[in-house]
Amino acid sequence: MEVEGESNNPGPSKLIPRLFYSGRDHWDLHSPILLKGPCVMLFRPYSAQIARHVLHSSRLGRLCPSLVARNVSNANLRGKPSRIVSTLLPGQLHPSDFMDLSGLVRPRFNVLPNTQAELRLHYICHEPSKQLEFPQGTTGFLYFYRPSTCVPLPACTMRFRICESPEKFDIGKDLILPNGRPWEKSIHWMINNGLADALAEEGVITRKELRTSRTIFRPLFSSHYKTIVHALHQTFSVTLNLTTVSDIADIYIIGEDSLIPLHMTGFRTLKTHLHKLAPYDDKNLILKLHLEHDLVRDLIIRVSETASPPYDKYLLEGMSAPYIKLARHSKRQAIGNIKPREHPVQAGLRILQQQEKRAKGLL
């Protein structure tokens, strides 16, 4: 793969290496070419992956300290500069960290001044051709979200707090997706793009936590949203598409060193039941659910919030979610501290109970 360069400003000549990509983890630097002035290097076709290799190459970094990798099809060599976020800690935010993402599709930014990696955000992106812009009023601060100090790192995320200033952070509200979930980026996403390493360098997270998270998330190749559950009674959302026949939704129970994938089944039966009770005029129904300990089934699923009309009479807060249950077996592999002959639901309950004791200071 050959690097292309374009000179934006006249100036003294500067030697820039010609870069060839000859394998997943192998680079060749040879055959210098002569370019003038500051250069923007364009990579194709997998710029996101290549950028991570290039930006961590010490030799190339010395030659091109301001290297920026971007996708050729979307290249805008004279676009707005990256937003630089000095910290993701809510208590240390500075007014200069304020961001206005309103109406933007893929804004780019750098987190922490001493890192070179440029990251891109998106509001909703299932496919490159189906990206939605950030809604109007998306103004505020990116921040690292950890519900409490006892919550394991794999359950932490990066969120966006809508507020006017760092002083008003506590009274602000998080950016919400159309399905009712908070907009957030998982640790899995942060690990993939190098942001987690930057957070470890700044002391926001520990290296030990990061190593454990890498082990846990290794089987999860996709960076798309995963429903992570780290505590009993923790509310999570499931979008019920009333026009399809999908019967399974996955959740992942997270512990300090374990990941237990669980299948929730019964959605097809629930949709059939709801269709008989009341006609629907919206193709999606958002269910707010949580897990509770049950002496017979180990874990049961309950409704955390009464459903929206016309189903508010049938899906009430606190009731057992009708027809929805956890499958005893999962096709996905569990990671971490799993006991012999322990099925996934039992393992999930044990991990959640350990988390509960840890939160109370009993472990």
Please tell me whether the peptide bond between 309 and the residue prior to it is cis, using omega within 30 degrees of 0: no
Indicate whether 84 and 69 sit together in one domain.
Answer: no
Indicate whether 343 and 317 sit together in one domain.
Answer: yes
Indicate whether 129 and 173 sit together in one domain.
Answer: yes
Question: What value does the mean pLDDT of the chain take?
Answer: 76
As a whole number of angstroms, the distance between CA 161 and CA 174 comes to 4
Place of tokens 């996905």: 332
As a whole number of angstroms, the distance between CA 36 and CA 21 comes to 23
Which of 173-182, 239-248, 256-265 comes out lowest in average pLDDT?
Answer: 239-248
pLDDT recorded at residue 49:
40
Q: Residue 342's domain spans which residues?
A: 228-359
Indicate whether 196 and 90 sit together in one domain.
Answer: yes
Domain's final residue, options 43, 77, 111: 77
DSSP 183-211: PEEEHHHHHHHTHHHHHHHTTSS-HHHHH
Coil, strand, or helix at residue 338? coil
Query: pLDDT (tens digit, 9 = 90+) per residue, 267-293?
Result: 989 988 888 888 766 667 889 999 999
Q: Which residues contact 226 (CB under 8 A, 6 or more apart)?
A: 186, 188, 220, 250, 252
Query: pLDDT (tens digit, 9 = 90+) per residue, 65-93?
Result: 333 333 323 333 233 445 788 889 999 99
As a whole number of angstroms, the distance between CA 98 and CA 76 comes to 24
As a whole number of angstroms, the distance between CA 240 and CA 137 comes to 28
> What share of residues in the chain are helix, strand, coil (percent, to 5)?
25, 30, 45
Indicate whether 334 and 270 sit together in one domain.
Answer: yes
Report the percent of the chain where pLDDT is more than 90: 37
Indicate whether 89 and 217 sit together in one domain.
Answer: yes
Q: Are 292 and 233 in contact (CB under 8 A)?
A: yes
Place of tokens 């109007």: 136
Residues 95-128, buried b or exposed e (16+ Cβ, 10 A)?
Answer: eebbbebeebeebbbbbbeebbbbbbbbbeeeee
Domain count, the chain: 3
Q: Is the pLDDT of residue 244 over 60?
A: yes
Indicate whether 84 and 218 sit together in one domain.
Answer: yes
pLDDT recorded at residue 103:
92
Q: Is the pLDDT of residue 143 over 90?
A: yes
Of 100, 137, 145, 136, residue with least CA distance to 121: 100
* Identity of the residue numbered 307: A
Indicate whether 99 and 58 sit together in one domain.
Answer: no
Report the percent of the chain where pLDDT is more than 70: 69
DSSP 215-229: HHHTT----S---EE
More confident site: 241 or 37: 241
- pTM for the model: 0.70
Quick one: pLDDT band at residue 53, thresholds 50, 70, 90? very low
Domain's final residue, options 77, 95, 115: 77
Coil, strand, or helix at residue 336? coil
Indicate whether 343 and 285 sit together in one domain.
Answer: yes
pLDDT recorded at residue 29:
41
